[in-house]
Amino acid sequence: MNPVFELSNGVLIPQLGFGTWQIKELSDIKTALTKAIEVGYRHIDTAQVYGNEEGIGEVLQSCGIPREELFITTKVWNSSQGYESTLKAFAQSCQKLQTDYIDLYLIHWPAVNLHANYQHMNQETWRAMEELYRLGKVRAIGVSNFFGHHLDSLLQTATIRPMVNQIELHPGNPANELVSKCQELGILVEAYSPMMKGKVFQIDLLLELANKYQRTVPQIVLRWILDRGIVPLSKSITPERIEQNAQIFDFELSQEDHERINELSTIGRIGTHPDHATF
């Protein structure tokens, strides 16, 4: 279960990631992540602010999978932005994850309303990330929750273009314009909250397609994302669903059904808007 996409720097990234947001209890982390690894996940997504890096580090140390076969993503939190504080946050994340390098390191949010000059803060954070990349401490660097204008500002001073942009993307918010911009820039898009916080189960079209393809609703959604050349981040603590969500590489949706799902875009975002976030 490890088909890959190639990042702009040649690094290979597994096409399906396992998200860990809101999985904080150590017992839940151990159960979910152990199952995910057992059924084939190798791409693990966490963040400084999730509060679970230590638990993830414990599981990855004991899972029996060689470190080079794992792809670990973490993110620098908004309050840790800035050159020196980013370097410090990175070192702390590595210590908690029990690894001496990170596969993908992201700026978690542009933090528009947290810093007086957020553009400069993003640029200083990115300068630290470029240094980590050049030192070989990270294999790839990128951003999360960045719209086009946030990317434009970052690129004014960046010497290395972001390799990834992780954004809220699901049938209610296909983010077509932003996805197109990222793809034109050679930036791979990752999709978080693909299940719309459970709302996908309330959409008649997705229920209809699940019946048509004899798949679960999450499998339909994950396949729709994957077929767009986007990495979906699947998250669950239920062992059965973790396994089901991994079984998306043996079918495809018709172009007609893709277009029908795209038309659900009128539902809109369900999470915080990057320009309105106050954290």
Alpha helices in the chain (DSSP H): 26-38, 53-62, 83-97, 118-134, 148-155, 176-184, 204-213, 217-226, 239-245, 255-262
Hey, which residues are catalytic here? 50
Instruction: Quote the tokens at residue 150.
Output: 């946030």
What's the CA gap between 124 and 242, in Å, rounded?
Answer: 38
Burial class (CB in 10 A: 0-12, 13-18, 19+), 11: middle
Angle at 158 between CA 92 and CA 75, to 5 degrees: 25
Single-letter residue type at 155:
L
What's the CA gap between 140 and 102, in Å, rounded?
Answer: 8
**H or E element that contains 142:** strand 138-144
Contact at 8 Å (CB) between 42 and 69?
yes
Contact at 8 Å (CB) between 121 and 115?
yes
What's the CA gap between 124 and 106, in Å, rounded?
Answer: 13
Single-letter residue type at 175:
A
Quick one: which of 212, 237, 231 has its CA closest to 106? 231
What's the CA gap between 72 and 90, in Å, rounded?
Answer: 13
Angle at 214 between CA 209 and CA 215, to 5 degrees: 75
